[in-house]
Structure 1
Amino acid sequence: MSEMNRNDEQQQVVEQGIHNYSSEDKWVKPADPLLLERLEWFKDQKLGLMMHWGPYSQLGVVESWALVDEDEEWSRNEIDWDVDAEELKRQYFGLNKTFNPLRFQPELWADLAAENGFKYLNFTTKHHDGFCMWDTRTTDYRITAPDCPFHTHKYADICKQLFDAFRARGLAISAYFSKADWHTPYYWAPDMERGTFTARGPSYDPQQYPELWEKFVQFTHEQIMELMTNYGRIDVLWLDAGWVNDYRSQNIRLGEVVEKARKIQPWLLSADRTVGGPYENLITPEQTLPERALHVPWESCITMGSAFSFRYEDNYKSVRQLIHLLIEIVAKGGNLALNVAPQPDGRLSRTAIDRMKGMGEWLKIYGEGIYGTRTCEPYSSGRCHFTKKDGTIYAFYLYRDEHEAVSEELHLPVQQPFSRIDLVGGPDELPFRHTEDGIAVRLPEQEWTAPAPIAHVFRMK
């Protein structure tokens, strides 16, 4: 395949670092009953904690992408010091020599997540830059290498420490892994076809250099199997870099390694993002959510701040905005993987902690309408969103801010006949009446004379 065609295909997968997502018709239902059972389990979880973390956090710039000359127009808009492209790459790849997150306390992260309603961790074991956050034998570009100052720390194997801490608190593990690797010479090979110019794909045509490409395939398989063998139970293998896939020139024989991993972990779900086919068990919108309900397993990865990587000054979404996102995603059948970027010193920012606790406070009261639910028509309609569980329908009526006026009577556009409606977190058996296009529920006086809540949540039977 020509370089131009390969680049055109890659552009369709990711633009300005944001991946598109597969359509429902590309989803393939697994034949294995255990995997079908695990997909139902996944759909129950609703809220995951995603974390992009690596040496790049020291600079507070985009993860990995500034390395790519092809994407310099957008990926280097934060590079505000006087440096040319080649020096920037040297500086970036040298960040491992100063990465020393001495204030990393995995137990605190796990406690924070577990206490505030998060059900699983999605952690970047390796982003496209190739830096490994586990004790791999495949490369010295890793957190435990002698030239990384953190290698002597008791928590040096970051993946092990995080996975163990989160599992100990009952949370599941989703292991993010980039299929591309811009550090290994098996992918970006020095002095090959492109010279020093870097693009998302390999620096050579795999069909012209099959022996070199096979080294990359074996390198990738070995890394995946290390994670699947040495790091305890993994519930999801979450695969990024959709331009690397078995249907184009970059065939890494993914099915081969996933099936090998499932001999060890037969429950393993795989998310081969944007690729479709039998190994994209989950569809993964990024920084967006579908306009309509999807009736296949899916998960939106959305940032709490403005970016996946840590920023020294960032604009965080409010608790109200985050809960509204979660409600709409769940009403449309998905999970929210909320990305919280750790600081380079190993802590989470005070603002991120505050937001997580705020979400937890809300979920402790209203989580019954979130966890373990399924979609319910009309799904999402204006400010109203619906879920169902065990014969009960939950209706969420959202308010943009606390100053918004609250009506004495709220209209819910749902047609089913109900005999009882309760206000979750409030009085039971509210007065209501059926209308031509739904139900009108009367709120108790203390609700329409108080500041507008994040949402009014109704339990309807």
Structure 2
Amino acid sequence: MMRLACFMAAALFGFAVHAETSPQAQDMAWQKAAAKFAPERKAILDKVAKGVAAGPFRPDWASLQGYRSPGWYDDAKFGIFVHWGVYSVPAFGSEWYSRNMYQQGTKEFAHHVATYGPQSRFGYKDFVPMFKAEHFDPDAWATLFREAGAKYVVPVAEHHDGFAMYDSKLSDWTAVKKGPKRDVIGLLAKAIRGQGMHFGVSSHRAEHDWFFDGGRRFDSDVNDPANAELYGPAVAHLSKHDEILSDDWTYVSQAWLDDWLARTAELVGDYHPDLIYFDWWIGHPTFRNTLPDFLSYYYNDGAKRDGVVVNYKLGDLPEGAGTLDIERGQLTGIHPTHWQTDTSISNESWGYIEHDTYKSPTFIIHLLVDVVSKNGNLMLNVGPRADGTIPQAAQDTLRSVGAWLKTNGEAIYGSKPWRTFGEGPTEVKGGMFQDTKTKPYTPEDFRFTTGHGKLYAIELGWPKGNDVTVHSIQPTDKVTKVERLADGGTVAFTQDAKGLHLRLPSHPVGSDAYVYRITLANPIKASP
């Protein structure tokens, strides 16, 4: 019945699936290639079973929904995401080059054939020796990220392409054994923690089950069993839209789920990440029986330390079982539990591509302020070049953000939302992939945070005149003092039914967003 369903789904979406290349047969070819790692895989899975049994989290959703994001993460507010891997070698299209170079009709397919030749002669595997990372300096990266004001850093440990950036015992296709021949994740963990930041990893391994399926439809190196360990099962991805999992008939074997669990647990056991970010495909129904085991194992391990974080997208986990991440998006109001948005400092891609453009410091600072006012964190992505250097435009923007945070971080780090997130005419579009669709903010747009017994009003533009009114602050709030964080100067003010009226200098004091520290006679009440 399963095989018949796969054939019917394939016919529905116009895929040519033949008996000799059925999903089960493709998966078996991968299982054969991965069989040599069976002892190591079993040892890790046995360790998971012991960790699950140790408690306090059980491998069931009722128990896992007792999870709460730890205080260090709630207070951090700003983190750095890093997409770096073999896909930075072609530096074309996006970090999905590994998939799209096998998707006939795409610009990546055409570019690949024109630049490197047919995929039967030069496949994705052939980029691996070109990924030398000769200028990779983990200490320099960590210094830059600390200067940017980040409190945690999350490099991609394995992207959809199946190349592990760490020293995996379950694969020969790792950055230790091939390419850079260095434990990228291990080196970054040491450097980042050495500069006082928390360290996490991102795993996109789940999607690798089908990521190279385009190579099955024509003469390519994906069809060579000798390459099965890198390319994975490459089973047909039978969904009209990647993001709609309820309409996904993609075949997933138990062997693949066991391997996913072992590889993800391996990251926990060897690197003890404070955070793990999962991409969207862990929401596929077949993962529902495997995820609780991993989450229980990871949360139990984190309970021995300062607590850990799992970021998930969409409805991949039941509410409360992890920390919601809204990719390239925002919320329209204060969320009752802590959440996160992630976006890239570059406009076209998460991984490095040539001729990409970069967001301005003002854009990023405004996004950070809006997200924090709504009980969230911002994780900002950077895509280094294949040689390990970070583009100067990205470095400049990061340092500008860091300079703003050095002056105004009192209103951001460790803050809590106020009774309202903000005010002003600019409406934020809620949901995924909406962060660049919000119109530029105006001097009438304010965001609020609380902390240190103070209320912070953050103005997202400098007014043309000397007077500005904050309407959300009413006479009953009894303001006693207003100060500028930028220079410590006091601000003259009056209060009436229309709000708090501030008298400002003729010229901007500071840049990008202007923070007023407000002292109230009554105790501050944070929300939630």
Q: TM-score, normalised by structure 2?
A: 0.71
Amino acid corresponding to residue 83 of structure 1 in structure 2 = V
Aligned residue for 2:503?
A: 442
**Alpha-carbon distance between aligned partners in 1 of 2:275 and 2:11, rounded to the nearest angstrom:** 29
Aligned: 1:370 with 2:412: yes
Cα RMSD (Å)? 3.4
Which is helix-richer, 1 or 2?
2
Paired residues in the alignment total 414
| Deviation at residue 453 of structure 1 after TM alignment | 2.9
1:315–1:280 Cα change, 3 Å:
farther
Q: Name 2:76's counterpart in structure 1.
A: 45
Contact 2:87–2:98 under 8 Å retained in 1: no
Contact 1:110 1:165 (C-alpha < 8 Å) held by counterparts: yes
1:270 paired residue number: 310
Distance 1:225 1:6 in 2: 33
1:100 to 113, 119, 132: 132
Q: CA deviation at 1:134?
A: 0.4
After superposition, the Cα gap between the structure-2 partners of 1:452 and 1:390, relative to the gap in structure 1 and judged at 3 Å, is closer
**Structure 2: distance between partners of 1:419 and 1:68:** 60
Q: CA shift at 1:188, angstroms? A: 4.9
Partners of 1:391 and 1:451 lie apart in 2 by 24
Please say if 1:235 is aligned against 2:261: no
Letter in 2 for 1:285: I
Contact 1:28 1:281 in 2 (8 A): no
| Cα distance in structure 1, aligned partners of 2:9 and 2:62 | 27
Q: State the 1:441 CA deviation.
A: 0.6
SS in 1 for 2:293: helix
Q: Distance in 2 between matches of 1:6 and 1:250?
A: 22
Counterpart amino acid of residue 159 in structure 1: I
Query: Which moves more between the two structures, 129-138 or 177-186?
Result: 177-186
Q: Deviations over 1:142-193 (max 9, x none)?
A: 1122xx2421xxxx00000001110111111121001222366699536x67
Counterpart Cα distance in 1 of 2:121 and 2:423: 48
Distance 1:177 1:279, change over 3 A: farther
Please give the residue correspondences for 1:172-251 in structure 2 after superposition, counting only pairs within 5 Å: 172-178=198-204, 179-181=206-208, 182=211, 188-189=232-233, 205-206=251-252, 213-231=253-271, 233-240=272-279, 242-245=280-283, 248-251=285-288
Give the match's secondary structure for 1:100. coil
CA distance in 2, matches of 1:7, 1:435: 69
> CA contact under 8 A between 1:58 and 1:344: conserved in structure 2?
yes
Does 2:142 align with 1:110? yes
Matches within 5 A, 1:339-358: 339-358=381-400
Partner of 1:16: none
Residue 345 (structure 1) shift: 0.7
Distance 1:360 1:194, change over 3 A: closer
Shift of 1:413: 2.2
For 1:408, the aligned partner's letter is N
Tell me which residue corresponds to 2:54: none
Give 1:87's aligned residue. 119
Shift of 1:435: 3.0
Within a 5 Å distance, the mapping from 1:256-267 to structure 2 comes to 256-266=293-303, 267=307
TM-score by length of 1: 0.80
Deviation at 1:325? Answer: 1.3
2:449 is aligned with 1:387:
yes
Gaps of 5+ in 1: 9-26, 207-212
Question: d(CA) in 1 for partners of 2:237 and 2:406?
Answer: 55
Match of 1:396 among 458, 464, 471: 458
Query: For the residues of structure 1 that align with 2:379 and 2:170, how far apart are their CA atoms?
Result: 29
- SS, match of residue 457 in structure 1: strand
